[in-house]
Amino acid sequence: MKSDNLPPSLTAMDIGVWRIILERPKSYFTIPGKQTLQLWKDTITSVSGVLVQLFHDLSGVINPWIFTAFLFTHFLIGMERALRLLVESRVLDVIEQSFMSGSPRLSVISYALGWRIGIAILSSVVDWTMTRIRPTIKSAIIHHFQSRILEANLQQDFSSHQENSSKITINPFQAYACFSEVLDTVDLIFSIVSQIGFVLNFSRNQDQGLLFAILCIAKPIMNVVGTENLWDKTFIAYSTNAAYSRLMAMYALATGKQNKQEILTCGLEDYIRKEYTHASKECEGVTDDHPSMLYGRKTTPSKDVILELMGELPIIYYIFSCFSRPSKFSIATLAMLHQTAASLRWTFESIAIHNTHFTQYMNKMRYFYEHHDTSSKEESKEELFVYPSNEKEQHEGMEIKLKNVSFHYPGTPSTKLVLKSLSFTLPPSSLVVIVGSNGSGKSTLVKLLTNLYKPSSGTIYIDSKPSTSYISSSLFRSSALLTQDHNIFPVSMLENITIGDPDCEKGEEKTRRAKESARLGGAIEAIEKIGAKKCEYEGEGTSASKTVGEDGWNKIVQPVQSIISSHWPMPNENLKEIMDNVEKQLDLSGGEKQRLAASRTFMRLLSGSTKLAVVDEPTSAMDPEGELQLFNNLRSMRHGKTMIFVTHRFGHLTKYADIILCMKDGELVESGNHLELMEKKGEYHKLYNIQATAFTERLPSTSVPSIVVSSHE
């Protein structure tokens, strides 16, 4: 056990490549199984609320008749084992009686056969019903949770969305698995109750029938209560083994689709192979099995030996009973006792396995309901203002004032401030340019100005009111942000632009504005090029190549992939051809993607509701002409908006700027217009001159070999 630098309530252990940190148990000296029973009690108490909510949710999405049939089928599945035991005991009984009497009667044999056939038919009908109903129920649950998770994602604010600890921990398939686990556990409980009922009933005629029942379930009960299960504890686990982390890094490097280009061009194949083999050798003998499997690993076999011996108790019991009271036992009774013991043991062991999954899924579900499910939470908006809140704000750009604003990224180990005590005012409708070296905090400042993050200290005032006094969504609706991280959505080219103004009604006006936005963003050419491309495979049944026509607007840029293929045998050539062409990602260059993203921003700017436009280095992949055109077009839209540009190439912009903010190491070192800052001969002057001299400085004539371009006549 390692407990370095941990709070006293936590304890750590290193197993395999993992460090597991978990809540320290309240007391080390407990009766065996007491802790497990307590955990079960806690789990049942806490999950009952989740179960009520889960079934309440599902009653709204699943047809009540189908749901009832589904539950009834589960009930029958639960009863099946006990029914089988009951029938088998009757069958064995009548067969034994007829043999003992020496005259097997046909009626008795038919009776026995009839019961067996009846059970077999019931079992297959239950299975058939299950396979019919299950897919409908499964889809209903998955779609229901998809919509809930979608909503939870949409409601999450930017800051918490970035934190590891607040990731939405459940996906729709796990939600279904959770539901399925609940029903499987209920099946098993039905099964256990009915089997114990059978044992008690069966052994009523035997002496010490209850004792036999207890002996049957002694091993499985010990197994359940004595097994350590990581999933019912509060824990985190991570790799502390450097070689293993290296191994995983090399694997990720080799298999990551985005790395292929660099692997080929840098010739990294041998390097990766060598490093992987080296790390793999260092990992020899160290296990990376899942922490939950390693946690339950026992140090000595004594517990297994005891458990196995406990499993033999029923047989020891009836061997002794046979000798001590032979008249009480028949072959049929012995066979039934043996079968009952095996059946009960199997059911209890299944409970032990299900217990792990059940608590794991239920805890995920509970966390989801408590932390992410926003359907029942109503944000109180009474005290907050809608932006813009008055006539003046509606006609002018946003006024932003920062007072002593400092910031450090939440959830990061470093407490270093990324922005330090910033104070400045950006007047309404001003054109602002933020400059500074890499890592000086420009993009972070933009995230605060656009309300994505809240300051760690200090206040941001928007039109004289603290930014926190506005409803966040109204501030977002009044802002447009164009950044270097150009996101292209899995929708058509047209929608990739119109989505910039989601409130715009569908119709001719919307299409006209989209086309105007594409012109201003410089995306028209790319859209037409996509439209003119040949498409080899379009939809069902058309394998011939054809020209799609001019309608690049309706082409989906990066369709969501739904394709599924066999692994073995691999799809043949014909299937491969189709596979390569369906849901194909459109080839857009980096610059074209940036133009599309810029067009989306123009759509937003043209909506008339934007009071703040922030443009953070959106032209890294654009050609100089495209960049100049984009900046000019953006500037032409500045009326009624405060416009903020972040750029390293300030030539195009700073001469128009009302204010230039010059950042260094998270501090605002200078502010003013171009002439004022040049006169200061400080940081801005230095940065500006580095760029200016790049074009004016002469190269030493001897240092560069001349290149001969030969022309082929």
Q: How far is the CB of 353 from ligand ATP (least distance, A)?
A: 41
Name the one residue in this structure whose structure tokens are 């030493």: 700
Tokens representing residue 423 in the block: 């104070």
- Choose, by CB under 6 A, the member of 40, 409, 424, 537 that binds ligand ATP: 409
Query: Which CB sits closer to ligand ATP, 43 or 443?
Result: 443
Q: How far is the CB of 663 from ligand ATP (least distance, A)?
A: 6
Query: Which CB sits closer to ligand ATP, 93 or 665?
Result: 665
Per-residue contact track with ligand ATP, 648 to 687, x per CB under 6 A? ----------------------------------------
Which positions ≥6 away from 222 have C-beta within 8 Å? 33, 306, 307, 310
Per-residue contact track with ligand ATP, 363 to 402, x per CB under 6 A? ----------------------------------------
**HEC string for 663-699:** EECCEEEEEECHHHHHHHCCHHHHHHHHHHHHHHCCC
What 3-state DSSP class applies to 492?
A: strand
CB 217 within 8 A of CB 195: no
What 3-state DSSP class applies to 662?
A: strand
CA-closest candidate to residue 603, choices 479, 518, 524: 518
Per-residue contact track with ligand ATP, 411 to 450, x per CB under 6 A? -x-----x-----------------x-xxxxxxx------
Query: Which CB sits closer to ligand ATP, 521 or 618?
Result: 618
Name the one residue in this structure whose structure tokens are 């009832």: 68
Tokens representing residue 274 in the block: 């060598």
Q: How far is the CB of 159 from ligand ATP (least distance, A)?
A: 10
Whole-number Å distance between alpha carbons of 509 and 603: 12
Per-residue contact track with ligand ATP, 290 to 319, x per CB under 6 A? ------------------------------
Size of the site for ligand ATP (CB under 6 A): 11
What 3-state DSSP class applies to 640?
A: coil
Q: How far is the CB of 420 from ligand ATP (least distance, A)?
A: 11
Exposed/middle/buried for residue 467 (C-beta within 10 Å: 0-12, 13-18, 19+): buried
Query: Which CB sits closer to ligand ATP, 409 or 537?
Result: 409
Query: Which CB sits closer to ligand ATP, 239 or 443?
Result: 443
Task: Using DSSP bridges, classify how beta strands 546-547 and 534-535 pair: parallel, antiparallel or unpaired.
Answer: antiparallel
Q: Is 234 in the site for ligand ATP (CB under 6 A)?
A: no
Query: Which CB sits closer to ligand ATP, 356 or 483?
Result: 483
Query: Which CB sits closer to ligand ATP, 246 or 649?
Result: 649
CB 530 within 8 A of CB 586: yes
Q: How far is the CB of 428 from ligand ATP (least distance, A)?
A: 25
List helix spans (H) across 491-561.
493-498, 508-521, 524-532
Distances (CA, A) of 429 to 170, 352, 395: 44, 67, 10
Whole-number Å distance between alpha carbons of 458 and 454: 10
* Residues across the chain: 713
Q: How far is the CB of 418 from ligand ATP (least distance, A)?
A: 4
CB 396 within 8 A of CB 640: yes
Query: Which CB sits closer to ligand ATP, 439 or 502?
Result: 439
Q: How far is the CB of 616 from ligand ATP (least distance, A)?
A: 7
Query: Which CB sits closer to ligand ATP, 185 or 443?
Result: 443
Q: How far is the CB of 405 from ligand ATP (least distance, A)?
A: 14
Whole-number Å distance between alpha carbons of 245 and 667: 36
Q: How far is the CB of 649 from ligand ATP (least distance, A)?
A: 12
Query: Which CB sits closer to ligand ATP, 412 or 457?
Result: 412
Spell out a b/e string for 683-700, using b for 16 or more CB atoms within 10 Å of the CB, else e. Answer: bbeebbeeeeeeeeeeee
Q: How far is the CB of 382 from ligand ATP (least distance, A)?
A: 33
E-strand ranges in 521-636 read 534-535, 546-547, 612-616
Name the one residue in this structure whose structure tokens are 């199997």: 346
Q: How far is the CB of 597 from ligand ATP (least distance, A)?
A: 17
- DSSP, res 444: H
CB 443 within 8 A of CB 614: no
Q: Which of residues 439-498 bind ligand ATP (CB under 6 A)?
A: 439-444
List helix spans (H) across 172-312.
172-202, 209-226, 242-255, 260-265, 269-282, 291-295, 302-311
Query: Which CB sits closer to ligand ATP, 109 or 417?
Result: 417
CB 507 within 8 A of CB 614: no
Q: How far is the CB of 518 from ligand ATP (least distance, A)?
A: 27
Q: How far is the CB of 479 from ligand ATP (least distance, A)?
A: 18
Task: By CB under 6 A, name the binding residues for ligand ATP.
Answer: 409, 412, 418, 436, 438-444
